[in-house]
Amino acid sequence: MTRATRADIHLDALRHNLVAIRKRAPGSRVLAVIKANAYGHGIESVSRALKDADAFAVACIDEAMRVRSAGVNNAVVLLEGVFTPEEQAQAAANNFEIVVHCARQLEWLRAYSGTPLKVWLKLDSGMNRLGFKPEDFRAAWDALQDMKGVDGTPRQMTHLARADERDIGFTTRQLQVFDELTANLPGEKSVANSAGTLAFPETHRDWVRPGGLLYGVSPLDDSHGIAEGLLPVMTVSTELIAVKRLQTGEAIGYGGQWRAPEAMSYGVAAIGYGDGYPRHAPSGTTVLVNDRRTALIGRVSMDMIAVDLREQPEATAGDPVVLWGRGLPLEELANSSGTITYELLCGVTQRVNFAVHDHGEAGGSRNKNKKAG
């Protein structure tokens, strides 16, 4: 019998979340971000399930080719652009759109003589990551106007750095910089990431670029996906593989950092940091056993965790344990562990058994046991 640790991917929840995003930004088209293997959910199954998205966004051409290999023909935007001149022809042949964010990409495009490409010109409005600085942005725009390799009017975009903190001042300044430089330029515009889509309607513009929202998690410090009308797409679960007893004062796990305050039952569950559960999750972190809340006790090991069963004396080996997802928001684990939801979603390892469920297809339910991707 295979190890019980699993990640269930619910594509009906994914489509629900796309509808919820459209309601949040009714005047915008949706550029669905599916980079990093669709945040760990499986880029092929996610792109097929989200064919109603207006376009997809990935980090690189290799990810974009996986979308095409899945039989999905939606437009795909390469958020980091191309990494070599040779990739431009490959991008054009597959209907990929490219972000141009630096001088060398401009030069590659200037020298390009193949099928014209749709281009997004990126402004660095304060993130200080990718994009042209404000003082260089207009020159980059002017340069694109003379290039035969550019198809139509370039779109303009920027990226919000602190919208997840609901930082009104910083986000407002970024938006002001963007508006000052693009107000008189033709072409569609995109500013809002997931946090902007939720917290700053004024950033919605022609396109919104949701990532985490699609998968049912909120990027905001003070919120979680369910409260925002979203459904978790991934549920990570396992089972108890042993139920044991501790006597008062006995320690558990590496380092013996947690000691029993009284004689008590505890369970050992088959999951650990080798599966992507965060090693730094502290004692007291919530898990579900038999759909009831209880607490992690002791250090997380590579393959196992221990959980408090004082409130469940009837628990036994084989009982289900949920680490996050349906019934337990991932945001709780992220906050407890000092990390973010995106890292946890992307960090589920390949030894976890993935099961993809689709109740929205014609012909009824579908369940595929497979690895992510």
Residue extent(s) of CATH 2.40.37.10 domains in the chain: 234-369
Architecture (CATH level 2) of domain 234-369: Beta Barrel (2.40)
Active site residue 35: yes
Number of other CB atoms surrounding residue 171 within 10 Å: 25
Q: Token digits for 199?
A: 């917290």
pLDDT tens-digit series, residues 52-85: 999 999 999 999 999 999 999 999 999 999 999 9
Amino acid letter for position 172: T
Helix (H) / strand (E) element for 55: namely strand 55-58
Lowest mean pLDDT among 116-125, 142-151, 301-310, 356-365: 356-365
Q: Is there a contact between 218 and 230 (Cβ–Cβ < 8 Å)?
A: yes
Q: Is there a contact between 166 and 201 (Cβ–Cβ < 8 Å)?
A: no
Residue 372 has what pLDDT?
Answer: 54
Write down the catalytic residue from 51, 133, 244, 254: 254
Strand pairing report for 366-369 and 305-308: unpaired
Residue 2 has what pLDDT?
Answer: 84
Residue extent(s) of CATH 3.20.20.10 domains in the chain: 11-218
Read off the pLDDT band of 301 (50, 70, 90): very high
Q: Is there a contact between 70 and 48 (Cβ–Cβ < 8 Å)?
A: yes
Task: Kindly tell me if the per-residue pLDDT of 127 is higher than 80.
Answer: yes
- Total number of residues shown for the chain: 373
Task: Kindly tell me if the per-residue pLDDT of 288 is higher than 70.
Answer: yes
11-218 placed in CATH 3.20.20.10: yes
Helix (H) / strand (E) element for 105: namely helix 103-111
Task: Kindly tell me if the per-residue pLDDT of 365 is higher than 60.
Answer: no
Active site residue 273: no
* Mean pLDDT of the region 256-270: 97
* pLDDT cut 70: percent of the chain above it: 96
Round to whole Å and give the CA distance between 247 and 316.
Answer: 19
Write down the catalytic residue from 35, 118, 122, 189: 35
